[in-house]
Copies of this chain bind each other. A is one copy, B any other.
Amino acid sequence: MFYEKYLKMREKNNSVLIVGLDSDTNKFNSKFSKDAIGIFEFNKYIIEQTNEYVCGYKPNIAFYEKHGYKGIQALEKTVEYIKKYTELPIIIDAKRGDIGNTAAAYAEAFFKYLKVDSITINPYMGMETINPYIELENSHVFVLGLTSNKGAKDFELENDLYLKVIKNVNEYNKKFKDKIGIVVGATNDEHIEKITKNSGNMVYLIPGIGAQGGSIEKLFKGLNGYKNIVINSSRGIIFSEDPKKSAKELKENLNKARGL
């Protein structure tokens, strides 16, 4: 169960950092081949370098789908590897969203076949589309609330759609006992206070610091002591010269901001 696993590893590694395995072969250095085999070798290396500084991993499935079925095989091997050598929870960043019978098929893909701990999903099509995931045993989802990209202003921020989503999702989370979290972009820090008032104790998955320009200082000001957070960094760690050092440093900076 994601929530317990997260709490345990947050404590054990004293970290709210999650590393995004957005393993884009275009950005690989010459040590790794730019194909599905290279992806798995790259991920192994990143996991070995970073696992003691994080509370989980988040592969974004787009970078695997790009390589067709062999890419999906690399993802499957990566998931297996993380589960075998660590106790860290795995969130697949998939942003899936579809109606009943289709959502049920996605839920099977991620929780019965791939057996990960959580996935991200998109709420556009309504609350019923969340059910097929959370009705499964050992499942958990992060629902997109307010994302970190500029486009968030087009529909999410318009008429406070994000807040309506978060309020609805929070009711579901109470009913389904901590099986839901929400995505809260670090770049939209001025809205975070409103979110903390409407989200109970749901875990926030927070992208947007680093490459996307979100500031740690402003983010934590917005969070104002809210503790159930997972802060994602992808490119800033996995493509840095020294992923181990980058993960350690970011973990420490985040802990400072947490007042630890």
| Partner-B contacts on A (CB < 8 A) | 22, 24, 60, 62-63, 65-70, 72-73, 76, 93, 95-103, 105-106, 108-109, 113-114, 122-129, 144, 147-156, 158-159, 161, 164-165, 168, 212
Contact = CB atoms under 8 A, between A and B. Distances in A.
7 contacts: A60-B105, A67-B113, A68-B109, A95-B96, A125-B144, A129-B151, A155-B165
A105 B63 contact: yes
A191 B17 CA distance: 45
Q: Is the interface of A mostly helix, strand, loop or mixed?
A: helix
Copies of this protein chain in the complex: 2
A95 B31 CA distance: 35
B144 A124 contact: yes
A159 B156 contact: no
B124 A62 contact: no
B152 A109 contact: no
Contacts of A98: 60, 62, 93, 95
Nearest to A108: B66
A121 to B, nearest CB: 10
B126 A150 contact: yes
B65 A106 contact: yes
A162 to B, nearest CB: 10
A158 B153 contact: no
Given A62-B109, A72-B72, A126 B102 contact: no
Nearest to A130: B151
A68 B72 contact: yes
Contacts of A69: 69-70, 72-73, 76
Given A68-B72, A122-B122, A158-B161, 4 more contacts: A95-B122, A99-B151, A124-B155, A158-B164
Contacts of A126: 147, 149-156
A259 B212 CA distance: 53
A126 B152 CA distance: 6
Contacts of A97: 95, 97, 122, 124
A109 B70 contact: no
A172 to B, nearest CB: 11
